[in-house]
Structures are given as structure tokens and as C-alpha cells.
């Protein structure tokens, strides 16, 4: 067990740290903007959409391409893949393409395959993340990932970042029936790794990460400011807020 230190507080006797993926260990804006651009461009090419229609489809998926940012409410980067896909399907139906579900499913899968070959261009670590994961592993602390992404996609990302072998368990939305902030994902991790909730922390950038940790009754819920959520919003749920995982030290 280890002691986890953040500015102004320490958590003792910690056996497991659960991390969100996007916005916590890896930069989410670049990754999800590029993924959605690939999806939208392929759909637009198949259906002959205009530039404005393509831009609006990106927007409903959660990418404000004109201002080069992700929407704070998502869905991309916040909610699971199926919700993002449904947003695109609903928009396409609203402009006359009412039978686009199969096409969207096919293209989302194709983009997954394409992106696997260019992960080195898509996946960028949050500064300090590789070092923290390595320190936790060396200290004997268990490490898990809890993400709304697919498990195998998250594992590929961790491998691309160079520390996939340090992660004890990756749990994506495909492993559970209830999405964040339901505690099912955390409870699944605790059971699989045989860790008591009183000896586990969660670190995430989204309200849903913090809420999940609170509902699960973990020893601590840490919010980081490297994602889409402001300090003011996170402070409504937890007093433990840091700029990034680089501020976490291990004893």
C-alpha cells in the first residue's frame, strides 16, 4: 500500500488508483476531435453532405470545429460511443437520411480500424501521466482504467502511451450495463482486483468520474483540470482538485 499526496492533503493505505482515460491520462481534445473528423468526413462523403451539414454533424457529436473545442456536455469524450453515434444518426434523419444507422455503425467501425494504425498521432499523454503510472507500479499500487470508451480501444491507447503493461485492469463501457456515474464500473474493478473501497482512489476530469467515486464510497475522489470541467464545477462535488496528475506524488 502507498500514500498518495496532493497539495494540502494525503491519502494513506491506498492499494488501488482508478483513472479515467480521456482528459486525465491522455489529452482528450485532440484525440476526439480527430476521431470525429474522420467519422464525419467519411459519412459526408458517402451521403454527399455539404460543408455546413458536416460541421453541424460534428457539433451534435460534441465537436465545435469552428472554435476548435469540444462541447463541455459532450457527448463525445463524456458519454459512451453509442450516444455519440445516435447523435449523428438523429441529425442525419433530421436532414432526410432516415436510414443511416447501418452506415454510421459501419463507418464508426472503419474509423476504429484506421485509427489503430495512427495512434501515435492521435494519443498524446497528459504531462506527468507516464511518470505517475510508473511510480505507482514501482511502489506496488494497483492501477485501473475506468472509461466510457471501449475496453480494447482504451488498452490500445495505454499501450501507445507506453505504460499499458503497468495497468492491472482496463474497464470500458462495454464491460458494464450502467454508464458513469453509476458505481457499477468501480464495483466491478474492486471485485476483480480484490480491493476494499476504503483503499481505493479515483482520479478523473469529469463530474461523472467524481460522482461515481462518491457513490461507490471510495477513500477519495480527485478531480483534475486537464479535461472539460472547470474548477468551480468540480468544487461542487469534491474538495480534492488538482491541476493535473503531475501534482500527485507517491510514497
Q: Could you report the per-residue pLDDT of 136-171, keeping only the tens digit for each?
A: 999 999 999 999 999 999 999 999 999 999 999 999
Residues 6 or more apart whose CB falls under 8 angstroms from that of 114 comprise: 38
Domain boundaries in the chain? 2-27+125-250, 29-121
Q: Are 213 and 191 in contact (CB under 8 A)?
A: no
Neighbouring-strand partners of residue 215: none
Mean pLDDT, residues 71-77 taken together: 89
Q: What is the pLDDT of residues 139-148, one digit of tens each?
A: 999 999 999 9
Q: How far is CA 69 from CA 58, 59, 148, 161, in A?
A: 11, 10, 19, 23
Residue 188 CA to residue 205 CA, distance in Å, equals: 20
pTM, 2 dp: 0.90
User: H-type helices in 5-150, by residue range?
Assistant: 28-47, 51-61, 81-94, 101-116, 119-122, 129-138
| CA pair distance 146, 209, nearest whole angstrom | 9
Nearest Cα residue to 88 out of 35, 130, 160, 159: 35
Report domain 2-27+125-250's class: alpha beta
Question: Is a pLDDT exceeding 90 seen at residue 68?
Answer: no
Q: Which pLDDT score is estimated for 73?
A: 86
Q: What is the mean pLDDT of residues 193-220?
A: 96
Q: Using alpha carbons, list the distances in angstroms from residue 106 to 127, 207, 220.
A: 34, 31, 40
The x, y and z cell numbers of residue 30, run together, are 485532440
> 129 by DSSP, 3-state: which?
helix
DSSP single-letter state for residue 34: H
Instruction: Give the pLDDT band (50/70/90) at residue 179.
Output: confident
Amino acid at each position: 500500500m502507498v500514500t498518495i499526496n496532493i497539495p494540502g492533503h494525503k491519502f494513506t493505505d491506498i492499494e488501488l488508483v482508478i483513472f479515467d482515460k480521456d482528459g486525465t491520462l491522455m489529452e482528450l481534445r485532440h484525440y476526439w476531435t480527430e476521431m470525429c473528423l474522420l467519422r464525419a468526413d467519411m459519412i459526408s462523403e458517402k451521403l454527399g453532405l455539404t460543408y455546413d451539414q458536416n460541421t453541424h454533424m460534428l457539433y451534435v457529436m460534441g465537436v465545435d470545429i469552428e472554435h476548435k473545442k469540444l462541447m463541455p456536455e459532450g457527448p463525445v469524450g463524456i458519454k459512451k460511443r453509442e450516444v455519440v453515434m445516435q447523435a449523428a444518426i438523429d441529425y442525419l434523419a433530421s436532414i432526410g437520411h432516415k436510414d443511416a444507422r447501418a452506415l454510421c455503425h459501419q463507418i464508426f467501425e472503419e474509423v476504429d480500424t484506421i485509427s489503430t494504425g495512427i495512434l501515435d498521432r492521435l494519443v498524446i499523454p497528459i504531462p506527468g501521466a507516464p511518470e505517475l503510472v510508473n511510480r505507482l507500479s514501482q511502489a506496488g499500487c494497483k492501477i485501473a482504467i475506468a472509461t466510457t470508451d471501449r475496453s480494447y480501444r482504451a488498452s490500445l491507447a495505454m499501450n501507445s502511451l507506453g505504460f499499458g503493461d503497468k495497468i492491472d485492469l482496463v474497464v470500458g463501457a462495454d464491460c458494464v450495463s450502467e454508464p458513469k456515474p453509476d458505481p457499477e464500473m468501480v464495483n466491478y474493478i474492486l471485485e476483480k482486483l480484490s480491493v476494499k473501497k476504503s483503499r481505493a482512489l479515483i482520479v478523473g476530469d469529469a463530474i461523472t468520474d467524481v460522482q461515481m467515486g462518491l457513490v461507490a464510497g471510495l477513500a477519495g475522489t480527485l478531480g483534475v483540470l486537464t479535461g472539460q470541467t472547470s474548477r468551480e464545477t468540480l468544487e461542487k462535488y469534491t474538495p480534492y482538485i488538482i491541476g493535473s496528475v503531475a501534482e500527485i506524488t507517491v510514497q
